[in-house]
Amino acid sequence: MSRKLYMVIERFRDGDAVPVYRRLRDRGRLAPAGLAYVSSWVDERLERCFQIMEADEPSLLDRWIASWSDLVDFEVHPVISSKEATDRIAHRL
């Protein structure tokens, strides 16, 4: 099974990043085996995080989200690299 990429948009509850970063500091990312953090960016107001995760299977995201859902609202989108998108559409260009 190939690993898939996911764009995860996290909206910090009440726009408050402090509890999220406190848990991250104290307990780590809480990702189950098979789910890997790739990279992330946070908006300047510290209200949302845009994160790329890589997983062997989508259910791993559900397990990870359950560890954070009291502090964060999640939106998850399967994504592909720009190169893969170019390869997929090349025959139509």
In the predicted model, what is the mean pLDDT of the chain?
Answer: 96
pLDDT at 80: 95
Q: Which residue's structure tokens are 């995080």? A: 49
* 3-32 pLDDT, tens digit each: 899 999 999 999 999 999 999 999 999 999
Task: Specify the fold of 4-92.
Answer: Alpha-Beta Plaits (3.30.70)
Judge whether residue 1 has pLDDT over 70.
no
* 19-75 pLDDT, tens digit each: 999 999 999 999 999 999 999 999 999 999 999 999 989 999 999 999 999 999 999
Work out the angle at residue 20's Cα, subtended by the Cα atoms of residues 79 and 72, and round it to the nearest 5 degrees.
Answer: 55
Q: How far is CA 40 from the centre of its chain?
A: 8
pLDDT at 2: 77
The domain ranges of the chain are 4-92
